[in-house]
Structure 1
């Protein structure tokens, strides 16, 4: 079993087609077929099923794929170091929208003070997208607000956060000291997109009491959400870190929901098989001190 075998397997899994994988790897289709057959024979498992001329990865293949990606990624890191192509340490960091807006900047500033030579690239998206990128080894580490579902990833809660209900000056709730959860049933909401940890937590709390959210507007941009609420388009639930200034200025009001605390933690997430480089260890240490 060689790195070449694993790279071919990863490409076939990504394209679902041996001919396309061959084109991307600049090799012949029979070479791809032979490599897949070699892996199946070596491990005595079937990697793919064929339906309507398309390949679908099996459960055994999916399990092997996670390891293959990490082995290839680690091999390429080793090659880079050995060939002096990794003179500048590089860290690929994922962050969910709230984290990317409020937390990741100070974290990276502290990391830069510790390791000025380390370069970072940051990807900001919702929890589901970040989770997928970690599983596929396209990110080294992430700081997320939502719940991680993949058993391939290690999750460590590190930063406290709280969601708050917000209303604009023209909304009837603006001057209220508190509201009941039942009063939110049927109210128009400006919501984050599906896959967002913020939306998931609030939807779960509403559903637990038998209520549903009335979705008026879906947006993955926190500034747009705040402006929509200030403009009287509806209510929203958002991290308190994102609205401290607007609440202080009276542009928004934060209204407690009686009997419905919305506490959560931002979590460090990385693959269980990830090799922890020194820059990665320092990034994690900085996050734990936030």
Structure 2
């Protein structure tokens, strides 16, 4: 097996087409097919199934890609470095929505000013999507809150945060300050989408107390949820960092739940096989 075979496999996987991969790599289609066959024979697996004019990735292809994408990226970085080509590509940094909204702009500005670095590529999305992009080597590192779901990802905590229950000043609970779970059982909740770090923490904390969150509104936009709560459409559990202004203006009222706190850590995450070049190390040290 050669590194060239892995590069061909990664290209076919991304392009989802032997023809497109051959064109991109400037190879013949038989050469691309032979490289895929070499890998399949070596590991005694089927990597792609033909579906009409296209191909379908198998589970074995997904598994191999987790390794091959990192091996080929490291090889290409080494090749570029030793050939003394142009400066390495800008960092590819992911972020969960909460961190991307509140902290990422300041971090990026400081990084560019401190290290005279080019503007990184930034991807802000829900935590599960960011984690998947790391596994597939589409990001160099990321900043997220909440739990990691893959043992192939390394995490380094860099700060703490908590979630806060909030309601409108017009809501009947606004004057209570402290509430119980019984007070909340019939309340309509406005929540972030499933698999977001914020939603996972709220659900897991309450689930152990036999309280199941059933939202009447779900959104990837924290701003939309905040506006919904201010309009008294329901109550929500959101990151404290994103509530500073509306709470300060009296547009939202924070509530404590008796005996319950929603605490969490923000973490820098990267794939265990990722080569941490100087640019990545500089960014990590700046954040920490």
User: What is the TM-score of this pair, normalised by structure 1?
Assistant: 0.89
Kindly indicate whether residue 25 of structure 2 is the aligned counterpart of residue 46 of structure 1: no
Specify the alignment match of 2:101 in structure 1: 101
Contact 1:159 1:267 in 2 (8 A): yes
Specify the alignment match of 2:32 in structure 1: 32
Cα separation, 2, equivalents of 1:28 and 1:105: 45
Contact 1:186 1:213 in 2 (8 A): no
Instruction: Report the alpha carbon displacement of residue 155 of structure 1 after superposing the two structures with TM.
Output: 1.3
Change (3 A) 1:198 1:21: same
Q: What do residues 156-191 of structure 1 show as CA deviations (whole Å, max 9, x unaligned)?
A: 222100000010111111121211123222311111
Cα separation, 2, equivalents of 1:36 and 1:121: 31
Gaps of 5+ in 2: none
Cα separation, 2, equivalents of 1:37 and 1:69: 18
Name the SS for the 2:234 alignment partner. Answer: coil
Contact 1:190 1:229 in 2 (8 A): yes
Specify the alignment match of 1:166 in structure 2: 166
Instruction: Report the alpha carbon displacement of residue 146 of structure 1 after superposing the two structures with TM.
Output: 2.7
Cα separation, 1, equivalents of 2:64 and 2:141: 21
Kindly indicate whether residue 242 of structure 2 is the aligned counterpart of residue 242 of structure 1: yes
Instruction: Report the alpha carbon displacement of residue 48 of structure 1 after superposing the two structures with TM.
Output: 2.5
Change (3 A) 1:20 1:181: farther
Q: Structure 1 residues 1-10 or 138-147, which shifts more?
A: 1-10
Contact 1:230 1:251 in 2 (8 A): yes
Cα separation, 2, equivalents of 1:10 and 1:233: 48
Contact 2:228 2:234 in 1 (8 A): yes
RMSD: 2.3
Specify the alignment match of 1:154 in structure 2: 154
Q: What do residues 104-158 of structure 1 show as CA deviations (whole Å, max 9, x unaligned)?
A: 1222233223201343121100001101111111111100013221122111222
Contact 2:40 2:47 in 1 (8 A): no
Instruction: Report the alpha carbon displacement of residue 203 of structure 1 after superposing the two structures with TM.
Output: 1.2
Total equivalences in the alignment = 286
Gaps of 5+ in 1: none
Q: What do residues 23-65 of structure 1 show as CA deviations (whole Å, max 9, x unaligned)?
A: 5555444323211121233x44314264866544344x44432
Specify the alignment match of 1:268 in structure 2: 268
Cα separation, 1, equivalents of 2:280 and 2:51: 44
Q: What do residues 221-273 of structure 1 show as CA deviations (whole Å, max 9, x unaligned)?
A: 12221111101111111110011121111111110111111000011100101
